[in-house]
Amino acid sequence: MLRVRELFEETARAELGIAIAAANEAAAYVEHLRSEVVAARESLAELQTKPSIDPGSLIAKDKCVVSLLMALRPAKTRHSQLLFASEKAKAIWMTKKAEAQALDKLSVRHRDKHREEVNIKENAEQDEVANSRAFAKSAAETLEEKSRKARTSPFREIATSHDSQ
């Protein structure tokens, strides 16, 4: 599940990159059109300062400025749309990234809890082994003590005291 979320996040990041690239390309085109408008206006102004004005050239330059201005408006609109799309893609990517991170944290928490449970179980098993060893040792010492007592007769003391008298 985590890998699927990571793939969604990677896909969203790639889509964000594409959207940003498209917005940057649209911005570059808008700047290009603006510079073309400025150059066309300068050319028109220069043409108007000449002593002999060719009406055909003047009309052509004016139409060039107008057509560039007509192309600039939709280019600006397109740039705005692509900026909006890139912001939307960024929001989607951030959501997918947050989901993947949350799932990763959940996975880490689950893994840590499992590790803790395994450690508790292992410690309990080790305690049980240690207790059984201690019990076995205690039982062996008790048997040895009983065996020692069994080898010595309680009447031995009486017999030795009668012998010495």
pLDDT in tens, 97-156: 888 888 888 888 888 899 999 999 999 899 898 888 888 888 777 767 766 666 665 555
User: Cα-atom radius of gyration of the chain, to the nearest Å?
Assistant: 47
CA distance 15 to 13: 5
> Residue 88 has what pLDDT?
95
d(CA 38, CA 57): 17
- In one-letter notation, the amino acid at residue 58 is L
d(CA 111, CA 119): 12
Q: How confident is the model at residue 35, as a pLDDT?
A: 93
Q: Cα separation of 163 and 120, whole Å?
A: 64
Tell whether the torsion through CA atoms of 127, 128, 133 and 135 is positive or negative: positive
Enter the pTM of the model: 0.58
pLDDT tens, residue by residue, 34-81 = 999 999 888 888 877 877 877 777 787 888 888 989 999 999 999 999
